Amino acid sequence: MDVRVMASKRIRSPREKRRFLLRLFWILLLLVAVFLFLDWKMRPIIKKSAMYQAKNAATQAINDAVSAELEELGVTYSSFVTLVKNTQGDIAAIQTDTVTANQINAALLDAVMDRLSDPEYQEIRLPVGTLFGGAFLSGHGPQISFRVIPEGYVESELKSNFQTAGINQTLHQIVLEIKVKVTALIPGYSQTTDVTSSFQIAQTVIVGDVPESFTEVTDGQSSTLSKLNDYNAQTQKQKME
């Protein structure tokens, strides 16, 4: 004799349905509140960490681009500057080759822009724990990818620095300063920051007194020629006054 047991489906009453939906609503509301609270607490930390990582990535890209381009161009101190001597053999003036300086600066800017636009440098993958910060979480958790993209133009400025290098000796350095604004794009977040990097392009030690006449390149744009400063002329003018 076969005995069949028929399982009857339990039918919920309208009152039970309302209770179930109400509980589900409160659970979802609690989850949303927890998510918003965590987002509010973690957003500043994630943004700060993203800004730090973006600066590191952009600085690395700029350093690699400038180093590679300088090596390819074979830039030396004499590429920028000519030391003019008087009849006694002393250095009387320092003259800057503005045309060459502009060309080198333009080449460096192009190299930096190309490197910052390279997907290899734009795409960054880090563990989630690294973004949250702290020694305990750093390097742990699933990988998260974000992009670092340049905003606007790359700015550069060539500077000359003089400092004492010893008795009757002066160190003359030509320094390139590069500024760029980058944005880190993380799912749900974005952070923009300024990145500044300085590079010593060339240097030499001048033996003797620092010459009174010196023409300095103040930047690498087309307006450089109108921004040249003749320090000898300024000195003579001050003496006359």
Give DSSP secondary structure letters for 16-58: HHHHHHHHHHHHHHHHHHHHHHHHHHHHHHHHHHHHHHHHHHH
pLDDT at position 136: 67
Q: Which of 236, 215, 187 is nearest to 84 (CA)?
A: 215
Read off φ and ψ for residue 38, nearest 5 degrees.
-65, -40
Q: pLDDT (tens digit, 9 = 90+) per residue, 12-58?
A: 677 777 888 888 889 898 888 887 777 677 677 777 777 888 888 88
Q: pLDDT (tens digit, 9 = 90+) per residue, 148-179?
A: 888 878 888 888 888 887 777 888 888 889 99
pTM > 0.85: yes or no: no
Per-residue confidence band for 213, with pLDDT thresholds at 50, 70 and 90: low
Domains in the chain: boundaries: 24-240
Per-residue H/E/C for 49-83:
HHHHHHHHHHHHHHHHHHHHHHHHHCCCHHHHEEE
